Structure formats: C-alpha cells, structure tokens
Structure 1
Amino acid sequence: MLTRHRPALRRATGVIAAAAITGLVLAGCSAGGESADKVTITIAGPNQWNSQADSFGQEWEDLVAAFEKAEPGIEVKTTVLPLASFADTLTTQLTAGTAPELVFNQPEPAPDQVLGLDDYLAEANPYDTDAATWQEGFNADAYGDAQRDAQGRLYWVPFNLVIAGLFYNQEALDEAGVTTPIASIGDLIDACGALKDAGYTPLAMDNGTLGTGWTSEALLSNLLNKYGDEWNVFDAAGDPGTATTVTNKSLVKAILTGELDATTTPEVREAVTLLKDVFDNCATENWSGVASSGQFVGGQEFLAGKAAMAWGTNFAISNLADVDWEWSSMPFPSVTKDDTSLSDGSAARFGAVAGGTSYMIPATTKGEKLDAAIKFLQFASSPQTGGDWVAATGAIPATTDTSTVSEGVGELASGEWAKPRLVNIGSNAPKADSGTNMWEGYLLGTRTVDEQLEYIQNGWVGWAKEAATEASLTEDWATQ
C-alpha cells in the first residue's frame, strides 16, 4: 500500500493514560502507591522515534505518566542515549555495575550482569487480566524460544516488535520503470542500473553497521537455510532436541565443530560475493564517508528524494510524514536459483521479532527498585496498559498477531519475510569487537574475498567460544 503524508501516526497519544488506568482498576495494581516515599527508577536507551536528545517523544511520556498515575509510589526517569554510542555506554555501565534499573537490551551482556526473567514470566502479569501468565500474553511466534540466551534464559521484555526491510520512493521507481516487489538479487542489480540511469542513487547507504549488517544477514540466512535441520540439535533449554529456529547453542556447536566454517562452507562465500555485487551496483557512492543519521540507513539522502530505496524499520515511518512523494516498503530480495545454483529456492526471511523496543534489568537492581522495574516492564508490555502506546507510535504489537501492523509496512510484516530466520548469523563477533563494521574493508576493496572469509571465521569462532564459556557448556566440542 502506498502512503503519503501520514500525521495519523501520532494519533490518540492522550488516551493512553485513561486506557491504562482502566486496565489497572480491573487488575487491582495500585498497592505500590501506599508508600509515602517514592521509589525512583531510570530507563536508559536510544531514541528510536525522533531526533530529540532529551525525550523519547510525547507517546512515551504519556506512557510513563499513565504508569506513575497508576503507581503513585514510583517515579520513572528517562535517559536518552546517543544512537551511535548507546551500546558502548550501557556495556560499560553493566560491566562496572553502575547501570540504571532498566536498560535497552541491544548490548550483549554477560549472564551475571542481567536478571533472568523466567520466574516472573511464569507468574501472572497483574496488568493483564486476559492471560494466565505474563509469558502467555506475548505472541509466541515472536517472543519465546528463539529469544533465549545460551543458558536458556529470557532476560529482556519486548514492548513491541521490529521488522526491517527496504523502503522505497514509488515515484523514483516509476520513473525508472522498476516494478515491485523486486524478487531476486539479479532483479535488484538490474533495477539499480535503471535507477542510476534515471538519475537516482538506487540504495541509500552510510558508514553505520546497519546497512552492511542487515544486507549480509539477509543473504547469509537465505543461503544457509538449507542447513537448518542439520544444525538444529538443541532445544530452547539447551537439551538435545530441536527448537523453532537454530538456537545459539546449536549455532555455537556448528561453528566449533566446523560444520559451519566461513572459509569452507560454499554458501558463505556466495553470500559474501553477492554482498559486494549489491554494494558495487546499488549503494551510495562513497558511502563509507556518509555519517549515519536518522531512522533510515542513508536517511538524509533518502528523505531528500535523491535515493530510491533505503533500509529501515517500522519505527522509521513517522519520518516520512512530510515527504512529497508516495512511499511503501518491501522485503529485501531473495537469493534465487537464477542467482546461484547454491540457492535452495527458499524465500528470504528477516523476522518480525521481539527486538524493537525491549528492556532488561541489570543484576545489580535490588529491593524496591527491582519490584518497580518489574512493574514497569509488565505495564508497558500488557495490551491493556501499553497497547495504546504501541498504536500511537505506529509499531507492531508484541502481544497480538503480527498482521496488526501500521499502514505502509504490510509487505514487511507478512509472508516469509516476517518469519524468524532459521539460521541467524551475520556479524557475530566477541563482545570486544561488538559494534565493529566487519564488512567495510572488504566492500571498499582493502580485503580480498578470501581475507574477508578468514576474518569472518575468526569473528564467528571468537563469538562461539565466548558464548560457550558464558553458558558454562561442558560438552567436549565446547571445551576443546
């Protein structure tokens, strides 16, 4: 569906508090307000919604106000961290034991740095009267086994789902004679040539890690899909069995036993080769000198109408409210058998997953502050108290079917693209290298494909060994 000027995304923010309080009256959860002294907790994370440096936006402030009205004994403060450095900041704080009570979940913490939430998830969410347990209130396909760490724990809670894909300027594609959806990598390369001829940058790109990361992950997971059944050998708890996707433990085993080796697995080489083809033919010229900004990859060029396509998420759509051209979105193309004989013909997947706005509790949080932090997670993740916030921000709910989506991202949140990746690997690396752009040197020509494969393999092995140690795995393949 094409979309133009969509101010309705900021709709109804003022009704959140009223709806939240109604849900709380039903649930009977205002006992926390009996204390004369308020318990103060702080939420720290990046601004996913706008460019403000001091607020996540009015919708978020309404959500916090609704919670504080329902729980007058609790005060919630927010700390907005820069998008480019929030992961480093939170990682440092978690390591030092100085992190606030609720932190954005993207940094990969050591198991002892964060609180496991399974015991809480097994109990009722007092703000949700429709589900027997907190866990049952979530979309089981989006938040469950696939989100457990190597120890089999769930340690963060989603407030919504996130899906990434290609957003496009319909008028640019029409001018170039490009039709959507673009089905294959070969079709994408052809489309990029036509768009260049029409005077557009085909695919906006910048020097951040998202553009290279999402493109490489889409290609790798698509081509490695054929190995899913072979590598799927542990269930979500880490016991022999299978899970809905290849778990971290199963992936660690595949890497440490050599079943997956970037230097010898032919599909990895093919994915890396296709990645360079896409960047050479489609990406912004001199993209490595373009600073990341906004909510799209290469956002300034895309929003200015100079680039025809850009990677983005469903969180980015509010930034399109003022553009004067029609836009929509589509999945990144699949690697088809016409592209390479190594394809098994499966469609590309990315996954509408619980990794959008999601928060965890540091292990250093104790007592009344811990109780308050749990309450906020429960409040924000309940459809009865947080549902209006999800709708007002144009997000995909984590508590209902993913077919309930915002206008303009329907093609992303449905079909194969919205299903979780069976094999989820890309820029995996040890924590010390977290945030490093593992693809830049190769894409800029300073590494050969063989050198890049060796580099990626070292990163994967380092990640796998670190994960095996943190999970205290004792199997022979994990300790050799």
Structure 2
Amino acid sequence: MTPLTSRRTAVRAGALVVAATLMVSACGGGDDGESDGQVTITIAGPNQWTTDPDTFGPAWEDLVARFEEEEPGINVETNVLPADFGDTLSTQLAAGTAPELIFRSVSHTADQVVPLDDYLQEPNPYVEGNERWIDLFNQDYFGPDAVSARNAAGNYEFIPFNLVILGLFYNAEALAEAGLDGPPETFGELISACSDLRDAGYDPFAITAGFLNQGWTVQNISSMLMAKYADEWNQYGPDNEPGRSATVSIKSMARAVLTGELDATTIPEVGETLRLTKEFYDECATPNWSGITTGGGFEDLLSGKAAMAYASNFYAPLLEDAGFEWATMPFPQVTEDDSALSTGEPARHGANTEGTSYMIPSTTTGEELDAAIKFLQFITSPEGGQPWLDGSGGIPSLEGATPAPGLEPLMTGVWAEPLPVQSLSALVPKAKFWTPIYDGYLLGSTSLEDTLAGLREDWIQWATEQVEDGGWTDDWAQS
C-alpha cells in the first residue's frame, strides 16, 4: 500500500502525501507549436510532501531547477492534484488527455501507458559507466525477481523515484501520561492502551475517512493471519511463469481466487481480519472518523490531539519541530490471546515501490516522450535524485543510495521484510479503486456475512481483470 493524500504543509517527509504533480501545458502528445524550440512536459499527481495546492515543496522545486539546468531545452511544470487525483487521472487516461508523467497508483489498463522495458535495458545517460538503467535499482524491489515491479502483461510500466514503508508513529509523552511503560507490543495491549489514552484525554489513534487507513489496517492484520497460505498459493514467479516469489505474486493470487482456494466466505482468516480491524476502529479510532474527509490524520498527531497515527517515512521531517518526544513502531502482533487463528507470525509491511512512482501515458509521443524519459532517468540517478531524497524523506530505490537521516529504524527487523501474501486490501476491482470498501462493516450497517460475500464477488472481478490484462491462457484462467 500506497501513500496518504492529505498532508501538512511543512516538509512533506512523510510517507503518505502522494508526490505532487508535474504537469505540462501539452497533454498527451504534446504541442508541436513551441515557438522557442522548448519542450514542455507535465508531471501530475497528488502532493505527498506538503498541503500546498501549488507546489510539491522546496525539494521538488530544487529537483526541477537542477534538471532544467542540465536539460535547457526542456521545461517541467508541476500540477498538484487534490485527493481525488485517481479519478482525475483515470478519466484523462481513458480520454487520451493525460499529461506526460502521471502518478502510478491510479486505475488503468496496460495499454494506456508506455512499456518501459526497452528503455530500462539501455544506459542511463546521467550515470557515468552505466550500461543498463535497470541495474541501478535495488533488485529486491525493482528488477526481474521483484513481484510488484511489472504489470499483469509482464511489462515495466512505472519508475520508482523512492521506496516507501509505513509505520506507526506515536507521542511517547502521551503514552507515559496515560500510564503506559512503552508502546504496545500485542494487539490486546493496543486495545487496552487505547482505553487508557482516551481516559488521559487523547484520541488514541488518528483515523480519517477513506480507503487508506482501512487498507493499511487490513494489510497489517492479514499479513499475520494469512501467512500460513503462502506456500500453497505460491505458484508463479514475478515473470508470470511457473515458479515462486518472495511474496505470492499477483498471478498466483488471481489463480487462488478463481480456483476457489481463496474465498472470502470460506477462509476463516478473512473474516477474522475484518473482525479485528473493526475492534481496532471501535476502540482506537478518532470519534466520528467516517465524517473527517479533510485534515485530521497525521496532523492530529502533530498537534497533540492524537497519541498515534499511521505515517510513512515521508513524514519524519514534519516531526523535527514537534513539541513532544516521538518514536515509531510496527503494528502490534496478533497473539493467541487475541485470536484463536493467530499463527504467531509478527506483522510485516515491507518497503515497496508504492511511494513516489510515475508512468507515461501511451498518448505521449515524440519529443515529449523523450523528455519524460529523461526526467525519469535524471531523478533515478544518484546525482540527480539524492538531494531530493534528503529533502523529502525518501528511501532510495537505487542500489547503494543513502536513506534520508532518521529513517533507518523503519527499514530494520521483520516489519521491513516482504509480505508473505499479497495484502487482501489490494484485491480491489478497478471500479472500486481507492474507495472505502469496508465502511459498511466498520460502521455497523453491513453484517460480516454480507461483507464477506461482497468481497468474494469483488475478488473474482479483480482476478478476472488481471487475467484479461495479462492475457493469461492457463487452464484455471479460462473458467
């Protein structure tokens, strides 16, 4: 999972706020009528670093200035998109009017974006001695064996500017005031701590409306309960050929759904994941969370209103001026005392490429396509990208690059290891992408039974879409 979309105005560091949008006056194929011989490109996406509607912040502005100095024939314009950026970009993709570079996490089909495989096999011109651009990346996250690096068609369609990892950020002083010796280590301790924090006058955990907080909680819990199925479902490698993957691949998950091995109505761990998610929401979430559509979230932690909040590594810089002692922790472990279905697995989130990743619409051609590729190459070169990483709280996607100061703790231990199984919250059909699909159950208006039946249908639709996008012809994919 991906980044939050409501951010604060300071350093953008935090993981959620999706990286802003570099938009250009020429959408799609570009404007051949540039009178001064300049090529203008646009990068469009959400603001992952600040709440400013006009800029992604100083680190982005510096990045663009350095690129334009390196490539004086190219102008880069930025367009910061609001929280509904996904709907905007998906509509533009379908209409053929999307700008040259767009944020990756939007509903789309493989033919709507440019496959980057051939470019990745060529040298990155901004790195002396490089023979293949793909070799510059950390191969665990973006390379031939990385599960999430390619789409269902088997193509590289995006370039990761950084990596992201989610964590639980907390106010250590608030926990102490509530009589807690330290952060909760088990799910039961978390629920108990939430009660103590409310008694001390805090919202235990900052939660707002939307899919992100729900999806992260479901992922954190399902990463523990569903790990037992990894060996059984792991049938295909990252290249979609028979084999195995570090995390059960998308094709393997689609197979499990369409063969009935993964059925929300029959796998008890699915219902248990939702039950524990609802318990967390009922006992810990901000009161009336479903009505909070702007602000809140991490801002409530910064202001001292909330004691805990989800945040990515992007948020660390925002806490530099916090008036309290803060720290991070993984989601607490679900033990046998918390659930009879506990396997003893610790929670994992895993660093991934869902941070700031951009792709090129297939309507981008000619000089605009060349310019867009150059920008992607520049930001993923050590000299081009490192200053931006340092200023934006990014974890580098390149091999051997240096994480921004203060992020090392999020990248250690089991929490940073790959998920055994794809998150259940990722099995979302295109029509429901980014929608809060668990609202009914969490708010008590939909029964668990009906919610699971709805998930079953959603998962079948999702798997069918993956088969179509991938052009898979395996026997199980034809039923």
2:22 match? none
Secondary structure (helix, strand or coil) at the match of 2:477 reads: helix
Q: Which runs of 5+ in 2 are unaligned?
A: 1-9, 14-34
2:147 match? 146
Secondary structure (helix, strand or coil) at the match of 2:226 reads: helix
1:42 match? 42
Contact 2:11 2:49 in 1 (8 A): no
Q: Which runs of 5+ in 1 are unaligned?
A: 1-6, 11-34
2:186 match? 184
1:130 shift after superposition: 5.8
Equivalent residue in structure 2 for 1:258, among 232, 257, 260: 260
Secondary structure (helix, strand or coil) at the match of 1:76 reads: strand
Please, which moves more after superposition, 63-72 or 115-124? Answer: 115-124
2:351 match? 352
Q: TM-score, normalised by structure 2?
A: 0.89
Aligned pairs, number: 445
Please, which moves more after superposition, 228-237 or 248-257? Answer: 228-237
Tell me the distance in 2 between the aligned counterparts of 1:391 and 1:205.
Answer: 28
1:218 match? 220
1:435 match? 434
Tell me the distance in 1 between the aligned counterparts of 2:49 and 2:260.
Answer: 41
Tell me the distance in 1 between the aligned counterparts of 2:105 and 2:363.
Answer: 18
Tell me the distance in 1 between the aligned counterparts of 2:211 and 2:245.
Answer: 29
Tell me the distance in 1 between the aligned counterparts of 2:241 and 2:92.
Answer: 33
- How many percent of aligned residue pairs carry the same amino acid? 50
1:23 match? none
2:413 match? 415
1:384 match? 383
Describe the superposition over 1:271-306 as per-residue Cα deviations: whole angstroms up to 9, x where unpaired: 11111111111111111111233xxx6234322211
Contact 1:352 1:402 in 2 (8 A): no
Describe the superposition over 1:405-447 as per-residue Cα deviations: whole angstroms up to 9, x where unpaired: 431x433221111122121223322111112101111011001
1:179 shift after superposition: 3.8
| 1:175 lines up with 2:177 in the alignment | yes
Tell me the distance in 2 between the aligned counterparts of 1:8 and 1:108.
Answer: 28
Tell me the distance in 2 between the aligned counterparts of 1:228 and 1:292.
Answer: 38
Contact 1:403 1:414 in 2 (8 A): no
Secondary structure (helix, strand or coil) at the match of 2:310 reads: strand
Tell me the distance in 2 between the aligned counterparts of 1:130 and 1:264.
Answer: 54
2:29 match? none
Tell me the distance in 1 between the aligned counterparts of 2:385 and 2:400.
Answer: 16
2:21 match? none
| 1:81 lines up with 2:81 in the alignment | yes
Please, which moves more after superposition, 206-215 or 131-140? Answer: 131-140
What letter is aligned with 1:458?
E
Contact 2:11 2:318 in 1 (8 A): no
What letter is aligned with 2:331?
F
Secondary structure (helix, strand or coil) at the match of 1:168 reads: strand
Tell me the distance in 1 between the aligned counterparts of 2:259 and 2:166.
Answer: 32
Contact 1:68 1:74 in 2 (8 A): yes
> What is the correspondence of 1:11-22 to structure 2 with a 5 Å cutoff?
none
> What is the correspondence of 1:43-442 to structure 2 with a 5 Å cutoff?
43-82=43-82, 84-129=83-128, 131-144=130-143, 145-147=146-148, 148-293=150-295, 298-400=297-399, 404-407=403-406, 409-427=407-425, 428-442=427-441
Contact 1:157 1:359 in 2 (8 A): yes
Secondary structure (helix, strand or coil) at the match of 1:385 reads: helix
What letter is aligned with 2:214?
T
1:384 shift after superposition: 2.0
Relative to structure 1, the CA distance from residue 401 to residue 285 in structure 2 (aligned partners, 3 Å threshold; closer, same or farther) is farther
Describe the superposition over 1:52-105 as per-residue Cα deviations: whole angstroms up to 9, x where unpaired: 1111111111111111111111111111111x1101100001111111110010
1:362 shift after superposition: 0.6
1:9 shift after superposition: 9.2
Q: TM-score, normalised by structure 1?
A: 0.89
Tell me the distance in 2 between the aligned counterparts of 1:426 and 1:240.
Answer: 22
What letter is aligned with 1:362?
P
Relative to structure 1, the CA distance from residue 404 to residue 318 in structure 2 (aligned partners, 3 Å threshold; closer, same or farther) is closer
Describe the superposition over 1:117-148 as per-residue Cα deviations: whole angstroms up to 9, x where unpaired: 11111221111236432111111122232222
Describe the superposition over 1:369-407 as per-residue Cα deviations: whole angstroms up to 9, x where unpaired: 111111100100111221111112121111145883431
CA RMSD of aligned residues (A): 1.9
